[in-house]
Structure 1
Amino acid sequence: MTVRPSFDPLIAAEDRALLEARPELLHPAAGVRPSGPVGGRTPRDVLFSLWNAPLWAFLPLVVAPFYGRKALIAGAIGQVVAGAVLVLAPGGVFVLSGAAVVAFGVLLARCGQGRAGSLARRLHGSYVVPGDLDTATAALLGRVQRAIQVVLTAEVTKEGLLDDLRNTVTLPAQEWEVAQTLREISRLSEEQRTARLAGQNAELAQMMAPQAKALKLATASVTERIEAIERYAEQVTAADRALLQWKTLQRLADSSDAYGELLARTVRDELAVAEIDGLTDEAKRLEEALRRSVEKARRTGLTLLPGGLAEAG
């Protein structure tokens, strides 16, 4: 799993989805990149518009299918109108040439960075991109993102067996706090590397020693938080396994005697039953184990709340 951008949870879901779809438009912490001429539009955008504009004016039915079903319907209507103009209107070619100029302007206006680019500029500082991090901090962010993904995609989460509010609110907030800390650690680490390259002497080493120690402590602290989230993900995974086993046993226990006999031969040793008549009791015991596993995952999740780590300690 590659490291993806991390966003402030306060960003609206619609805006976040738009930015996630265009990560190349996000700006690193160093500052907002210049947009370039004409709103970030490139020569490629101009060529694209020049090539498509005459098609939209003269042969809209040829190009419309590439823009979706609605565009196809509009292209069919436009093709009828274009044909009528060419056949019936005096100077029909000049009329459609004027339409091509209008189409060029519309197409060019739709190129460039658009709303996503505007959002990326306006929300600069409310996201962390992989380019903000060095190799070590990027690896740490990847770990927390993977752990959170495990929790959010788990079956016990989908079925509402865990605290949905904690998972959907607390975990993104935890990721954002971790990402901000890692961005600052990366920035200060680079600052120290640059200072060391500039020259090494006893006075400089004495001045940088406390700073290096602070960086080490901060890295250890954020790593501890990441490990807590990973432990939560491990508990959720264990609950997922218990849920799968419980569902399997329930399904087989409710089936015919043939399935019951197959169960006694093939399920894992701790789930196997000596006789078919014991399936119901075994299902009850596994259901209790599932509940304990889910409850353990819920308690682990509590440590992720503000102050939770301290209480858990």
Structure 2
Amino acid sequence: MIPAAFDYTRPSTVDEAVRALADGGEDAKVLAGGQSLIPVLRLRLAAPSVLVDLGGVGELRGVRDDGDALVIGATTRHADVLRDPLIAEHAPLLAQATETVADRQVRHLGTLGGSLSHADPAGDLPSVAVALDASFGIAGPGGRRTVPASEFFVDFLTTALAPDEVLVSVRVPKRPGWTTHYEKFNRVAQAWAIVGVAAAVRRENGSIAEARVALTNMGSTPIRASGVEEALAGAPATVDAVASAAGRAAEGADPPSDVFASADYRRHLVTVLTRRAVVSAGGIS
């Protein structure tokens, strides 16, 4: 199906993009990599009056070292995330999850900010942002603000972004001494996650000093598995201890039932994947 007619603008600065969104009103849409938006347009599930193409805004691309954190531009493509040495060194969990996103073609067009702003609960990157305690730089008519990942994802396909705001950057704290892993279960390669687990572990003197665990597709937004984190803090770095903690992975979750899996199956699956993710992240055998 051919999309409905729309106007098109390609600003060169963040301020120009914000003005274009404000001028377009509620019917304006942002275009980044287009991997989520274009299919919706072709199905006519959305009919924006204007598309604001962020491809010409240089500020929104690239990765830079900002002392105790990395700052990643919102339109940095998945393929660039995978190749970036700063991310490999300081935020490997982001690269591990990005490698599971769709296929090569999508990763060469899709963007980090586009995936996060789409906020699909089955998407891989929102849970990684929550696990890493990332924060989001946002620009709007009233200026710029910062929103933590824990507050950015509001509901199914809904974020804290207002219609006239632009996601500018993602700030990811460096975590020296932590090791990470992303575990994902899907029906076929390149499919959305039925369940995913993002895990970060810091070991100390043969024990797990701290852990951060976030879940994909276990609710309408990514969630922290706080029960697992509490059980792992100070626990011995053994498979049995991890398996016991993973038994709490579904606490507080509200997984969906759909054509791919029932809620009960997801509750079972998340315990299995959490054990695998933490064991792999912590190098536990």
Q: TM-score, normalised by structure 1?
A: 0.20
Which structure has the highest helix share of the two?
1
Which structure has the highest strand share of the two?
2
Q: Larger C-alpha radius of gyration, 1 or 2? A: 1
